[in-house]
Amino acid sequence: MGYGFVATATASLLEGWLHFPPAIRLPLVCLLVLIGLWLLVQKLVLPIGSQVLRPTWTPNIEQGLAREVGRYFPHVGDHLINALQVYHHLQQNREGYSPELSRLSLVTVWDKIKDLDFNSVAPWQKLQPVVRFTVIAGLVFLVSITLFSKTFNIGAMHLLHPQTSFRPQLISAWEVSPGNVEIVEGDSVRINIRVKGKYKGPILLRWRQSDKKVFQTKQLLAGPENVYSYLFANLRESVKYMLQAGEESSEMFTIHVEKRPMVRLLQAELIFPPYSGLESRYLQDNVGNVTALKGTRVRLYLKTNKTIKQGWLEFDRGKKLPLKPLGAELKGQFRLVRDDVYRIRLIDNKGYRNRNPIEYYLNVTADQKPVVRLPLPGKDVDLGEDLKLALQINAEDDFGLSRIRLGYQVQKAVQVPGVKDTTLRFIELKLPNQNTTQVQLDYLWDLSSLSLMPEDVVRYFAEVWDNDAVSGFKRARSQVFTARFPSVYEIYQEVTEAQDEDIENLKDIFTESQELKRKLDEISREMQKNPDLDWLKKQDLEEIAQKQERLQKNLEQIRRELEQAIERLEKGELLSQETLEKYQQLQQLFQEIMTPELQQAIEKLRKAFDQVDPEKLKTAVQRFNLSQENFLKSIERTTNILKRLQIEQRLDAAAKLAQNLAERQKLLNQQLEEIASQQLKELLQQQEKIREDATTLDQVLKDVKEKMGEFNDLQPAQMDSLLQQMQDILREMAQQNQGMAAGNKSTALKSGQMSQQDLEQLRQMLVNLKKNLVNDQKKQVAEAFARSAAELLRLSEEQEQLAQQVGGLSATSPKLNELAEKQLNMLNYLGKVSKQLYQLSQKSFFVTPEIGRAIGKSVSHMSSALNHLTERNSRAASNSQRLAMGGLNEAVLQIQNSMQDLAMAASAAGLEEFLRRLQKMAGQQQGINQQTIQLMGQGQMTLEQQAAMARLAAAQQALRKSLEQLQREFGKRSEILGRLDGMGRDMDEVIKDLRNKQVTRKTIERQQRILSRLLDAQHSLRQRDRSRRRQARPGKTYIVRSPDEIPPEILQQRERFQEDLLRAQKEGYAEDYLELIRRYFEALSREMENLEK
């Protein structure tokens, strides 16, 4: 064994140092192998084989050992070997020796040797050299491979490959820094390599990610101090790398990349403020940017790539909010209060932090201010004598309304010296539903408690608050409107000017219509001669038709203006109830002027232009001519009646003006009694205003006298006493003015008292004059009706007798000529009666179209009877005469109805009850409207809401029946119910919608139209004698010049901006677009505010 150690070590070291070529290394290896085999066989195989292969212990060996023992112990000699021989012979006993003697011989020898030490026969000293050599050889072998490990390894490697050629090693060692290392994800690692040995060339860096098999390579060149360097930048995964130079390479190194903590999943839940009514919602996964209402709670749920030790939200404004870690998950929440930026910070169990966290933006969406408007009346208005104003308030907010009220301020025209009240007052209104986003509130405002005086102005507006409980309730105010309580003098002046202009326009229309009629008659006469019209005549007809249509439009404009004037007079209570009803009847006359027949005649005339048939054109011209003639008569009648109505109206107004002056004069007298003489001048302006208005009254009386002079049946001289009375009043007022200017209290007071008494007397005189005038006119009309009815009745009797006589005659009877002459006389007499009724229609509404149609039918049948008599057709003549008699009887019946209506027109019995019931119906309708708005747009209704809808349908049905009852009871007063036309149909449609539970915007509009008509009807029927009497208060008139109003278009534009922004939100735009829209509207609003300033 020692020889083997020495040989192997020697050969390996020699090869490691000398690097033998294969020619020497191969024999050397073979020699070593042979020596090794020889030693193995000689020292191991053969001894073991001899023991294994031999079946028994050979005698030669035993005898050799016995001789060796005999030589070592002389007293033993040959006894041991002889005993062995005896033993072997005894086992076989071929010679037949005695076994007992043989065993005795062996015992004898055993006794001699049993105490001997056989180990001493082969002493240690003989084995010591061999053992020593073997141990020394082994120690030398171990020392050699330890001291020269690399050389030994190289040599051993070469000996194991004896036929391989090994060149000398240029690199003795690789020094790699940092070698194996652990870093954090995202860090960079620079490796530096030093090569020990003679190698100076480039080296190859080979690396791969841990989860991949393919290597990437990079050639590195030596740098300063023979150092190779490479930077692994921003590593995200672990890397294995090695170095290679030619056939030599380094070991494999590992850069272990520890992952930084990072967010793999981010979920944000938005919990909106309760007032918004919005349901909570989740943003899309990994979306952390939040745009929401202020006060929104943001809940964050995070999942990370590893277990987290600590996490928090870091805000730009300096706040830090800890997150609750649960292994690899975290959660937390915060409230959105302002625009901000936040980041998510994480620390894992090894203390590593997430790098460059994403910045998420927080944007607070502004809760828009509410919008409120006053579409009804939607403009500055004048108040009526009832001092009630119908308002409609429309308000809207993006999330809900919490409060609504009406604000107002009274600006007194006559103020107490030294006192100026600028207090804003408010009326709290009730929202139909709390937190509703839209509301339409109908409110009938009674201003009677404000003690308004003529020319006082009420500035009013609506205010609403939204339900923003987070940032505070935001308020919005509508455009400010004014409700002015006009003086009766202003109303009178405006209306009379408008009426005078309307009459002049009517006269112009009548004159132009006469000219058209003249041209039309001329064309008709030419067509009688030659039915074929040339192109110029057709153009004339077309021009006549166009002008006629234009005249009709002008007439409609006059009708509308007249209606507005009536409304103004009615609100100012400058009309008696009787005169008001006559004006309403006048409106009906305007409708009768613009008959459908006239328009149809124009259309047929135009169609006839395109036809070749001259007869059709001739017929169309005749029809148009007839319609034009009726048009002229209607205009003439309307103009004459309007002139008569003006007289009555101005007498009503004069009485009202006189009453107003008397009340003001009385107030002035009371103030004169209460103040000292030195303070008289403080009331001088008030007295001058009274005197100025008295001058206006004087002019009114003169106008009335002038208007009465236009009619033969009126007596202008009746006005002389009134005008004289007015002159006395003006003289007394002048005396009072002088006394007050001079500080003479007694003179001023005496003159004022006389003026007051004379004014009260004048008012009574005017009332009596108006009453007498109306009664005289009614008497004249009644008498004319009675005469006409009697004449028509007599004609009817004569016509009946004549029909009986004609019916009994044959065609050859000579009496037919006599009876024909009699029929002609009756026809002429009927024409006379018809003319009388036409003249009567110029002064009375009670000559109705039904009377005219009945007489026209009689005229037509009388003419037919006359033709039949001329043709000696007695039977046909008798039939026509009986039909004529029926027309006469019908005319008499219509005249009797008109006489009954005339008698009823003298009384206002039942009107107050009518008004009371109208007011009650308006209140009920308003309640139904408000409840319907609450149920509108509820989507799938609950059983309770369906029951509420059914109750509303029943309530609307009950109101419909009340209207029908009202129409039955006051059916004779068609002029009163004229404003309620169509309301029943609207009610039927509303009932249908409510029953079908399909309430739409049209339903709401119909309900509003019903309410408006009920209110309008009340306004139209107010009597002058009101239950409330305003009491004038002392004061002094101040002339105030207010600054110009802000143009309404600017205020309306700002409201439209706000409405458009709310609409944009409801359209579902993305949050970032909404933010842009909001900023744009804010910029526009600021620009509008600058314009206002």
Structure tokens of 14?
Answer: 């020699």
Element (H, E) at 230: strand 227-232
On the 0-12 / 13-18 / 19+ scale of CB atoms within 10 A, 615 is exposed
Q: What is the pLDDT of residues 905-942, one digit of tens each?
A: 644 334 555 666 777 888 888 888 888 877 765 666 77
Residue 909: per-residue pLDDT: 36
Residue 1051: per-residue pLDDT: 46
Residues 470-506: b if buried by 16+ CB within 10 A, e if exposed: beeebebebbbbbbbbbbbbebbebbbebbeebbebb
Least confident window among 495-504, 804-813, 823-832: 495-504
| Alpha carbon 155 to its chain's center | 94
Task: Assign 302 a pLDDT band (cuts: 50, 70, 90).
Answer: very high
- Tell me, what amino acid is at 40? L
Q: What is the pLDDT of residues 186-205, one digit of tens each?
A: 889 999 999 888 788 899 99
Q: How far apart are CA 647 and CA 358, in angstroms?
A: 88
SS3 state at 243: strand
Residue 101 has pLDDT above 80, yes or no: no
Q: How far apart are CA 565 and CA 342, in angstroms?
A: 69
Residue 566 has pLDDT above 90, yes or no: no
Q: Vertex 757, ends 756 and 760: CA angle to 5°?
A: 85
What mean pLDDT is predicted for residues 833-853? 84
On the 0-12 / 13-18 / 19+ scale of CB atoms within 10 A, 901 is middle
Q: What is the pLDDT of residues 1005-1016, one digit of tens each?
A: 888 888 877 776
Task: Assign 864 a pLDDT band (cuts: 50, 70, 90).
Answer: very high
Point out which residues pair with 315 in neighbouring strands: 342
Q: How far apart are CA 403 and CA 429, in angstroms?
A: 8
Task: Assign 579 a pLDDT band (cuts: 50, 70, 90).
Answer: low
Least confident window among 396-400, 551-555, 597-601, 646-650: 597-601
Could you tell me which residue, 606 or 658, shows the higher pLDDT? Answer: 658
Residue 1028: per-residue pLDDT: 33
Residue 983: per-residue pLDDT: 79
State the first-to-last Cα distance of the chain, in angstroms, to the nearest integer. Answer: 120
Work out the mean pLDDT of the chain and round it to a whole number. Answer: 79
Residue 605 has pLDDT above 70, yes or no: no
What mean pLDDT is predicted for residues 1079-1088? 53
Q: How far apart are CA 28 and CA 600, in angstroms?
A: 141
* Highest mean pLDDT, choosing among 98-112, 124-138, 447-461, 494-508: 447-461
What mean pLDDT is predicted for residues 599-609? 68
Residue 422: per-residue pLDDT: 74
Q: What percent of the chain has pLDDT over 90?
A: 25
Could you tell me which residue, 129 or 534, shows the higher pLDDT? Answer: 534
Q: Name the nearest CA neighbour of 505 among 555, 547, 563.
A: 555
Residue 640: per-residue pLDDT: 81
What mean pLDDT is predicted for residues 485-513? 79
Task: Assign 1022 a pLDDT band (cuts: 50, 70, 90).
Answer: low
Task: Assign 288 a pLDDT band (cuts: 50, 70, 90).
Answer: very high
Residue 209 has pLDDT above 70, yes or no: yes
Q: Name the nearest CA neighbour of 302 among 320, 285, 279.
A: 285
Residue 1044 has pLDDT above 50, yes or no: no
Q: How far apart are CA 653 and CA 649, in angstroms?
A: 6
DSSP annotation of 468 reads -
What mean pLDDT is predicted for residues 804-814? 85
Structure tokens of 574?
Answer: 């400058």
Q: How far apart are CA 1073 and CA 1085, in angstroms?
A: 18
Q: How far apart are CA 521 and CA 398, in angstroms?
A: 68
CA pseudo-torsion sign 1030, 1035, 1036, 1038 = negative
Count other Cβ atoms within 10 Å, centred on residue 706: 12
Residue 970: per-residue pLDDT: 58
Structure tokens of 74?
Answer: 């002389």
Element (H, E) at 655: helix 614-674
Q: What is the pLDDT of residues 714-771, one digit of tens each?
A: 888 888 899 999 999 999 999 988 988 888 888 989 999 999 999 999 999 999 998 8
- Tell me, what amino acid is at 471? S
Check if the beta carbon of residue 925 is closer than 8 Å to that of residue 899: no
Task: Provide the residue count of the chain.
Answer: 1093
Structure tokens of 1019?
Answer: 């306004």
Task: Assign 131 a pLDDT band (cuts: 50, 70, 90).
Answer: low
Residue 937: per-residue pLDDT: 59
Residue 395 has pLDDT above 90, yes or no: yes
Task: Assign 267 a pLDDT band (cuts: 50, 70, 90).
Answer: very high
Least confident window among 231-240, 469-478, 594-603, 879-888: 594-603
Q: Name the nearest CA neighbour of 952 among 926, 923, 936, 932.
A: 932
Task: Assign 149 a pLDDT band (cuts: 50, 70, 90).
Answer: low
Could you tell me which residue, 396 or 158, shows the higher pLDDT? Answer: 396
Q: What is the pLDDT of residues 83-94, one digit of tens each?
A: 777 777 666 666
Residue 128: per-residue pLDDT: 60
Structure tokens of 1091?
Answer: 């314009």
Element (H, E) at 1003: helix 1001-1020
Point out which residues pair with 302 in neighbouring strands: 266, 330
Check if the beta carbon of residue 945 is closer than 8 Å to that of residue 990: no
Task: Assign 577 a pLDDT band (cuts: 50, 70, 90).
Answer: low
Least confident window among 224-228, 288-292, 486-490: 486-490
Least confident window among 153-157, 492-496, 782-786, 1000-1004: 153-157
Residue 1031 has pLDDT above 80, yes or no: no
Check if the beta carbon of residue 534 is closer than 8 Å to that of residue 569: no
Residue 432: per-residue pLDDT: 82
Check if the beta carbon of residue 163 is closer than 8 Å to that of residue 26: yes
Residues 678-696: b if buried by 16+ CB within 10 A, e if exposed: eebeebbebbebbbebbee
Residue 31: per-residue pLDDT: 80
Residue 573: per-residue pLDDT: 66
Nearest 10 degrees: CA dihedral of 112, 117, 122, 128? -170
Could you tell me which residue, 768 or 1072, shows the higher pLDDT? Answer: 768
Least confident window among 791-800, 942-951, 963-972: 963-972
Residue 417 has pLDDT above 70, yes or no: no
Whether the bond into 178 is cis, omega within 30 of 0 = yes
Q: How far apart are CA 213 and CA 240, in angstroms?
A: 10
Q: How far apart are CA 1006 and CA 983, in angstroms?
A: 9
Q: What percent of the chain has pLDDT over 70?
A: 76
Point out which residues pair with 438 in neighbouring strands: 396
- pTM recorded for the entire structure: 0.49
Q: What is the pLDDT of residues 335-375, one digit of tens each?
A: 999 999 999 999 999 899 998 899 999 999 988 899 999 99
Residue 120: per-residue pLDDT: 63
Residue 662: per-residue pLDDT: 93
Check if the beta carbon of residue 857 is closer than 8 Å to that of residue 805: no
Least confident window among 4-18, 532-546, 714-728: 4-18
Q: Strands 388-396, 438-446: parallel, antiparallel or unpaired by DSSP?
A: antiparallel
